[in-house]
Structure formats: structure tokens, C-alpha cells
Amino acid sequence: MVSDRRVVVTGLGLVTCLGLELEENWKKLVEGVSGIGRPTLVDSKAATIQAVGEVNAYDWQRIQETFREDSLAEGERRTLFALWAARSALQDAQALDGDSNRYRHGVILAAGLGINRIEDINRWTDQTGKFDFFRFGREYENVHRESLVRNLSHRPAGLIAKKFGLRGTQTTVTSACAAATQAIGLAYRNIRRGDADLVVSGGADSMINPIGLVFFVLLKAASTTSENPKSLCRPFDRKRSGLVMGEGAGCVVLEELSHALNRGARIYAEVVGYGSSMDAYRVTAPHPQGRGAAQSMGMALKDAQMHYKEIDYINAHGTSTKPNDLVETVAIKTVFKEYAYRIPISSSKSMIGHLLAASGAPEFVYTVLSVQRDEIHPTINLRHPDPKCDLDYVSEVKRSRPVRAALSNSFGFGGQNASIIAKKYNAT
Amino acid sequence: MRKQIGQRQNAPFQGERIAVTGAGIVSALGQSVPAVWDALLAGAHGIDRIVGFDPGGFDCQQAAQAPDLNPQELGIHSKDARIMDKLAHMLIKCGLDAIRESGLHETSLPREEIGMFVGIGMVDYEVKDLLPAVLKSIDAEDRIDYDAFYSAGYQEIYPLWPLSMLNNITCCLAAIHLDIRGENAVFSPDADAGAEAIAEGGKTLLAEKARAVIVGGVSEKVSPMSLARAHLNHILNTTDQAKEKRCRPFSKHRKGTILGEGCGIMVLEPYSSAIERGISPMALISGYGSACEVDESGPGPTPGSIAYAMKEAVRNAELAPADIDVIIAHGDGTYSGDKNEIEAIHGVFATVVDRINVYSSKGALGNLLSGSPAVDAVLAVRMLQSGIIPPTIHCAPKESHIRFNIVQKRPLQAYPKRILINSQSYQGRCASLVLESCSN
């Protein structure tokens, strides 16, 4: 595509189990602090999952106090996470109060599943064990609102648009775990081709609820061992046992370069490439050779018109599941050839867990910070090398080295993949 | 919607255009484009009492449900059938029809260069999938005992059930079935998401990130949950005194919308590559615009933002409002939605409003949410090809202050060349598309 429009990152916002403030959150991450702990939101010793990355109670209270009205009106944690992350990013970009005519400012957000309350099913099930559809129809007003209305996928994006007066694009991407990287990639494309000048993008998710807690157990994708929660998520480790759920949100403010320069905005990094693909293989497993994963990385590089040797860091999808980490490793080797062994690769999920539909959002924030600061956070808990995962995963200790450009991966259940590249901003 | 070159924003210039080369529809009125089209011309509608569960307790018991498709006829293996529902069946059927019509399956185009962008509504759980787990987890006081649920109850759930709950799974199943591997995204959940999918697909072609794209949208499934949600969002016709509740776009007697099931899919390609491989494109997609501002008095966008989206789409197509022959309105039969859309059309098309023809498909097909814009786009393609506009069902008597011409009662032979399609979310977003005949 011939286009002179460049896209830069001017604001970052985070909500994860490592905190609400960008600097504090990043500091813990580079120091290798795990935010994973025992679940407190769901109280049952019988739950198979006993390790999650919850946003801590104090932070949650802060969010609720900040958005008091919304916290009364909304039942979903993810909606308030999204508001916090979007406001932080806009504040960080000093773009909270734009001009009143924000038709060229928009929001593109990833959304996941939302809560389903099994109490609703019990409530309308009669003595004989049959769900009474007629009575449900009479009494639907009594259904948990978060099961039906507050869980609408575009609710967070809609609230952000309304609250911050963004009148341009308002899009919700629901491509499972690839959704947030796709959302940010599409925001980049929107700005680059001239459809918008500023877009708040990212995602929010939380599935730390009863259905969420059995969701990945049923799919045999979750780690269910009862060992120390902090050491449970171990991407690329031989003893990795499945994903550990996190929750939270990440938002970035993407902006057209001259728009950012004209208002004197600080520039974190430039977004230079994006690609997405589909495995078209199986909905239950990634393609064994990582066909789609390699394709999305390749397309992002091509989009950026970059050689793979210009990438100095990969923020991996790295879920700590057997198939993903193996397939991602294979795919990185396919794309980066012998250079694959020389690129530092790390997984943020080892410390914050898997934020599901939102996972690409904080991970892109971290990727941008790596590019800006020449610092790479470690993959923690990687103590038993897997002979099949033999790349440089920045085990345990952060790395300081020049990061000219970095690539972030997200691969979704079902087979949708996305990769995005951030590069050091250079005025020329 | 042409290729952007240089730094000027949305500036007119020569460039590649986006062609429609194949289309598929499934709706309450039929399972193919010709079947649906003929039924619409005959003035039929697909709204009836809901089947599949007892809707008797709801205030609105009507919907335009699509008939079930036979998975075997679509070549779907029985092992996949359990996590596939009607939505996936509809998407695969429309995708197969559209690809066959375009001849894409006979080209040597690498599958990596075929993209897919779809709008998909909310996916709700089926009570039957969770009920056994719930029954196994009830304590003596008829409350959920979570210890029981976590230790044994949940094991009653089919292990792949979680996949069926993912909003993207319909798209992934279709991609596997159609072997599509290129650029992609799933948008959700309202009509604007379906329009966004079409526009993003087209723009992906212009950016040369794909050489063909499958675009469109699928409705929600009419279920106790989707019906309850629509009631809670106050969009349904629940107060109509008539025995049978209908969707009455732009009618003086409109009382709300009616849910519908369906899907619309198109194959889009760069105009030049369609010509190169000897295809005569069915239509061009030439403009897109969107805006977002919620009307505090209703569930939809303000007249100002609807107007902005229409103006942007027309400008993006390098046209003026006077060039538009037909508007396929969002026209969902809600009081404030239609009121705001009428005001916006009157404003944008002020000087030519008396010769603008307006059509809404929702009286006949119901409200397909994210499926509507793609179905409307396929209908627009048929209008451009045949020169005929079908009648809008159940709009008589029309709202008295309307100054444009609503096509109603019988088909109108109007030979339109340029058609504008409107879509709205119930959260204040609106998106408009422009389709043109290839002979312009």
C-alpha cells in the first residue's frame, strides 16, 4: 500500500494483576514478579483451577470508585477494566479532552465471552428438571443482566466512545484470543489509510467466574495442578501444564504522526506492520507446523517492509499449553530461519496469565515499552528446558539490549492468528 | 472506496475499484439469492410464531426464523456437527454459493490470499447444553452448590461445548470448510458490525493484503436468550394491538422491530482482477462511512450521526447525495430509530428527497442485526442487476411527514444505478455503504 501516513503510539493504559499504573506494572514485569495467586472472586475449594491472575481487591475498588456511576450500572468487571485502561491511555497521551468534534477519533476494542450465570438456568427449571420456557418468557426481567445485556460484546467500546466523545469508528472485534492484536492492527490500518486520526484500541476480558473456571478445563487447555500458583504458568518449559487465566485490560492510543506532532504528543513507538491469518485446519488444535502462525508473522514483516533480522524481540503468545508453545516455536523458526535462535522471545503470560480475548492488548503495551526502553521482560518459571522448544526465551532474568523493532503474536482458539510490529520512532 | 495514494485524506483520484463477484443469502424467505429475491418481489414476509421453544410467555412471540439447513448437503462431517449450529450452517451455505458464483474455487489463487471478514451476533448458550450440569449441582434448598458443580456437575457438559460459545467459531468452521487462510476478523454484534466487515474486506483488497475476500454477516439465533435480550433492550414490537406482531418500517403504526435469522455473504475482488479472469462483476462497492453518537432518548444513533455516516459514504464514493437513486434503510420499525433515520435522510438529501426511493427489508425478513447489511447489500446487487426494487412490507400507512418515496405495495421498476445502505447499532453507531452498477 502506498501511503505516507505513519501511525505512532502516544498513550498506554493497563489493568492487570500487576497493577493499574503503567510504571509499577512494567517494573514488576521486568523484575519477574508473578501476579498469579489463588482465586478469591470464586470461592470454592473444589474448583479444579486454583491459580488465576486476578486484579487485586484494592485496585478493583479504585476502579469502582473512579467510575462510580458505571460500576453501579454495569455488572461486568471487563467493562470497568476497559474504561480504566482507555482513560489511562488517553490521559497518558494527553488526549482525554480532544476537540469537541471527534469524528476522526474512534475506538476499536476486543471482546470475549461475557458471563453466563447458571443460576438463571436453575431459576426457571421446574420440579421435573425441565427448563420452563414459558415462565422464563414471563419473567425474563429477572434474569441476571450480566448474562444477557451487560455482556453485549460492544458494551465496553460503546461506553468508551460515549464517555470520551469519540464519534468516529466504534468497532468490536471478537476473534477469540487473537482479538486484541487484531483490534490494534485494524486501528493501525484505519489510521494509515486515512479513515481516522486517533484510535483508542486494545481489549478487556475477565472469565474468573464459574463458567470461566470450567471452560478451559473442559477443553483440556487449563493447568489444573495444585502447586504454587506463582510457578504454575511456565511457557516453553518441558513441564508446562496448560494456560492460567488472567483478567484485565490494555489500551493504546494510536495516532497519525502529524496529528501527534501537531499537538506535541510524546511518541512511544511507531506501528509499522500487521498481519492476520487463519489456520483453516481444526477448531480444536493449531496446525502442527504452525502454518497460520508463520503466515501472520510473515505478513506483518511484509506489511512493515522489514527483513526478519530487523526484529530484536518477540513477545510470544506463549500460553504455557503443550501445543501452542511448540507450534509457536516451530513457526518462529519457519519465519526467522537460523536467526530464530538469536532473537530474545518472552511470554508476558508467565506473570499475568492469559487475558484471553484481551491478551494481545497488555502484551502489545509491553512490546511497545521494550522498543522504547531497550528492555525485555523475562519468561519466568522456565526451569526445565524442552528440547523441542529450543529458542532464547529470556528465562528468569530481564535483558537489556537495543530493541529496534519488536513483534507481538496472538493466536486464537478456532485458528485465527495475528501479529503486529512496533518500531523505534525515528523522525525521518 | 478507491486506493488511497499520497497524504490527502479521502481525496478523489483514479484507482482500483472493488467488485462483487459472488453472493449468497439464507433467510426466512429462502435459502438462495433467487428464492429470497422472488419471494420479496411477490411481497411475501417470513415472520411467524416462533418455533423450537415455547415463546408463549414473551410479549413478542414472533420472529422471521430461517428454516434449518441440512448439514450433510453442505458436506459437513457428523463429527463437526455437534459444535456447529444454524449460524455456521448458514455461513457455510452462503459462502459456498458466493464462491461458486464467483468461480473463485476454480482459480489458482493461493488460499493465503483469500481473506474473510464477517459480522456475527451474540452467541447464547442453549439451555439443554448446561441443564444436566445444573441439575447435578443443586443443593437441598434448590440453590447452586458450587462445590458440587466444580467437582462433578460440570462434567455433564460436552467437552467441546466451550468452543460453540466462542463468537468467532462460526467464522473458523466456515474457514476450514471453505479453506480460507488469509487476512480476517470477526466483528460483533449489531448491524454496524456487518457493514464494517464488508468495508474492512474491501479496504483489505485496496491495501493489497488479499486478492479476494469473503465478507458479510450472520444474525443471532432466535432463542429464549436472544429474545429476552431484545426485550430487555426495548427494541421489539411488544405493544401492537394486532394479533400478529409485525415489523413495520416507517409506518405510522410502527411499534418495534422483530428478530430475524439469516446470513448474507459476498465475494469481493479488485475490479481489474475480476475482469482479467473473464468475470463480469455484479456490482461495485464504492463508499463507506461511519459515525457514532447515541441518542439518549432511544437505543440508536442520533440523526446527526446517521447523516454524517451517509455523507461520508457518499463522499467516499466520490459522489454527491443527488447521485443516489435508492436508500436501503436500516428501517427497523422502532419508533425512534425510524424517526431519526427519516430526519437524517431529509437533511442529507434535502434538495432531491422527493425522488429518492427508500426500501427496508426488515418488514419481510425481520431484523438480522449483524446479518442485515450483507443481506441488504446482496439485495442491492439484485436491484442494480434487475432494475427492480422490491416493496417494503407492512409500512402502510406510512409516517405522514415522510418526503421521500417508500417503495411499497408492489415492485418498482426504477433502474437504479447507485444504492446507499444504512445500518445502526443499538449503541449509537451507524455505518453506511454505497453500491454502484458496473455500467456507471
CATH number, residue B242: 3.40.47.10
Q: Per residue in A52-67, pLDDT tens?
A: 999 999 999 999 999 9
Compute the residue count for chain A.
428
Same structural domain for residues B139 and B258?
no
> For each of chain A's 428 residues, which pLDDT tens digit applies?
446 799 999 999 999 999 999 999 999 999 999 999 999 998 778 888 999 999 999 999 999 999 999 888 877 899 999 999 999 999 999 999 866 678 999 999 999 987 778 999 999 999 999 999 999 999 999 998 878 888 899 999 999 999 999 999 999 999 999 999 999 999 999 999 999 999 999 999 999 999 999 999 999 999 988 889 999 999 999 999 999 999 999 999 999 999 999 999 999 999 999 999 999 999 989 999 999 999 999 999 999 999 999 999 999 999 999 999 999 999 999 999 999 999 999 999 999 999 999 999 999 999 999 999 999 999 999 999 999 999 999 999 999 999 999 999 999 999 999 999 999 999 98
DSSP B170-200: HHHHHHHHHT--SSEEEE-SSHHHHHHHHHH
Q: What is the pLDDT of residues A292-346, one digit of tens each?
A: 999 999 999 999 999 999 999 999 999 999 999 999 999 999 999 999 999 999 9
Examine residue B391 and state whether it is found in any structural domain, yes or no.
Answer: yes
Residue A333 sits in a domain whose CATH number is: 3.40.47.10
Is A140 in contact with B58 (Cβ distance < 8 A)? yes
**What residue type is B418 in one-letter code?**
R
Share of chain A above pLDDT 90, in %: 89
B35 and B108 share a domain?
yes
Query: Is A143 inside any structural domain?
Result: no
- Nearest partner of B144 among A215, A42, A140, A207, judged by Cα: A42
Cβ–Cβ under 8 Å, residues B257 and B367: yes
Nearest chain A residue to B290 by CA distance is: A169
Given B135, B163, B191, which residue is the final one in a domain?
Answer: B163
What pLDDT is stored for residue A113 in this prediction? 87
| Per-residue confidence (pLDDT) for residue A149, from 0 to 100 | 84
- Residue B12 included in any domain: no
Within 8 A of B229 by CB-CB distance, chain A residues are: 148-149, 152
Do residues B277 and B107 make contact, with C-beta atoms less than 8 angstroms apart? Answer: yes
Nearest CA in chain A to B196: A171
Specify the number of domains making up chain A: 1
Q: Any residues with CB less than 8 A from the CB of B109 and at least 6 apart, and which?
A: B211, B212
Q: How far is CA A36 from the centre of its chain?
A: 16
In a domain, residue A399? The reply is yes
Secondary structure class of B388 (helix, strand, coil): strand
Q: Which of B115, B138, B163 is the last residue of a domain?
A: B163
pLDDT at residue B9, as a whole number: 43
| B151 bridge partner residues | none
Please tell me whether residues B193 and B159 are part of one structural domain: no
**Which of the listed residues B136, B163, B190 is the one where a domain comes to its end?**
B163
> Long-range CB contacts (< 8 A, 24+ apart) of B148-157?
B148/A46, B149/A44, B149/A118, B149/A210, B149/A214, B150/A44, B150/A46, B150/A47, B150/A48, B150/A210, B150/A213, B150/A214, B151/A46, B154/A214, B154/A217, B154/A218, B156/B132, B157/A214, B157/A218, B157/B129, B157/B130, B157/B132, B157/B133
Measured between alpha carbons, how far is B328 from B313 in angstroms, rounded to an integer? 13
Domain-embedded: residue B13: no
B32 & B153 share domain: no
Give domain status of residue A179, yes or no. yes
Separation in Å, CA B324 to CA A154, A219, B342:
31, 51, 16
Q: Which pLDDT belongs to residue A401?
A: 98
Preferred mutation among B186, B190, B214 to probe A, highest tally of A CBs within 10 A: B186
CA distance A93 to A13: 10
Q: Is the separation of the CB atoms in A40 and A359 below 8 Å?
A: no
Within a domain: B8:
no
Q: Are B98 and B151 in the same domain? A: no
Angle at the Cα of A248 from the Cα atoms of A246 and A253, rounded to 5 degrees: 135
What is the separation of C-alpha B137 from the centre of its chain, rounded to a whole number of angstroms?
Answer: 39
The number of angstroms, rounded, from the C-alpha of A385 to the middle of its chain's C-alpha atoms is: 26
For chain B, the 3-state helix, strand and coil shares in percent, each to the nearest 5, are: 35, 20, 40
Give the distance, in angstroms, between the CA of residue A330 and the centroid of all CA atoms in the same chain. 22
The span from the first CA to the last CA of chain B, in angstroms, equals 15
Q: Do residues B316 and B353 touch, judged by C-beta distance below 8 A? A: no
In a domain, B1, yes or no: no
The count of structural domains within chain B is 2
DSSP string of A168-184? S-EEEE--GGGHHHHHH
Residues of chain A with C-beta less than 8 angstroms from the C-beta of B128: 131
Catalytic residues of A: 177, 317, 354
| CA dihedral for B22, B25, B29, B31, sign (positive or negative) | positive
Residue A2 belongs to some domain of the structure:
no
Determine the Cα angle at B172 with ends B171 and B177, to 5°.
Answer: 100
Predicted pLDDT of residue A235: 98
Please list the pLDDT of chain B residue by residue as tens digits (440 residues).
765 543 334 433 346 899 999 999 999 999 999 999 999 999 999 999 999 999 999 999 999 999 999 998 998 887 777 888 899 999 999 999 999 999 999 999 999 999 999 999 999 999 999 999 999 999 999 999 999 999 999 999 999 999 999 999 999 999 999 999 999 999 999 999 999 999 999 999 999 999 999 999 999 999 999 999 999 999 999 988 777 889 999 999 999 999 999 999 999 999 999 999 999 999 999 999 999 999 998 889 999 999 999 999 999 999 999 999 999 999 999 999 999 999 999 999 999 999 999 999 999 999 999 999 999 999 999 999 999 999 999 999 999 999 999 999 999 999 999 999 999 999 999 999 999 999 86
CA distance A424 to A270: 6
SS (H, E, C) B264-303: EEEEEEEHHHHHHCCCCCCEEEEEEEEEECECCCCCCECH
Q: Is residue A408 a contact partner of residue A360, using CB atoms and an 8 Å limit?
A: yes
Contacts of A163 in chain B (CB under 8 A): none
The answer to whether residues B275 and B327 belong to one domain is yes
| Distance (Å, whole) CA B396 – CA B285 | 31
Statement to judge: residues B301 and B154 lie in one domain: no
User: What CA–CA distance (Å, rounded) separates A255 from B7?
Assistant: 15
Question: Do B362 and B419 have their domain in common?
Answer: yes
Looking at this predicted complex, what is its ipTM?
0.97
A113 vs B142: CB contact, 8 Å cut-off?
A: no
Q: What's the half-sphere exposure (Cβ side, CA atoms, 13 Å) at B114? A: 23
B72 and B55, same domain (yes or no): yes
Same domain, yes or no: B353 and B417? yes
My answer on whether B188 and B156 are in the same domain is: no
A210:B58 CB<8 A = no
Report the pLDDT value the prediction gives residue B84, as an integer from 0 to 100: 87
First to last CA, chain A: 19
**What is the tens place of the pLDDT at every residue in A356-404?**
999 999 999 999 999 999 999 999 999 999 999 999 999 999 999 999 9
Provide the residue range defining the domain that includes A252: 8-116+151-423
Q: With pLDDT > 70 as the criterion, what percentage of chain A qualifies?
A: 98
Return the number of other C-beta atoms located less than 10 Å from residue A139's C-beta: 14
| Contact at CB, A278 and B181, closer than 8 angstroms | yes
Let me know if residue A358 belongs to a domain. yes
Which residues in B lie closer than 8 A to residue A217 (C-beta atoms)? 154
Spell out the residues 6+ positions from residue B18 whose beta carbon is closer than 8 angstroms to its own. Answer: B1, B202, B205, B206, B268, B269, B270, B271, B284, B285, B286
Query: Cα separation of A283 and A297, whole Å?
Result: 20
- What is the model's pLDDT at position B440? 63
Do the domain assignments include residue A132? no
* B40 domain residue, yes or no: yes
- For residue A134, the chain B residues in CB contact (below 8 A) are 54, 56-57
Q: What count of CB pairs under 8 Å joins A to B?
A: 284
Both B212 and B241 in one domain: the answer is yes
Contact A422, A364 (CB under 8 A): yes
Contact A174 B165 (CB under 8 A): no
Contact B232 A122 (CB under 8 A): no
Task: Kindly state whether residue A141 falls inside one of the protein's structural domains.
Answer: no
Q: Which of B138, B207, B232 sits opposite A148 (nearest CB)?
A: B232
- Compute the Cα dihedral for B231, B233, B235, B240 and give only its sign: positive
Domain encompassing residue B53: 19-123+166-436
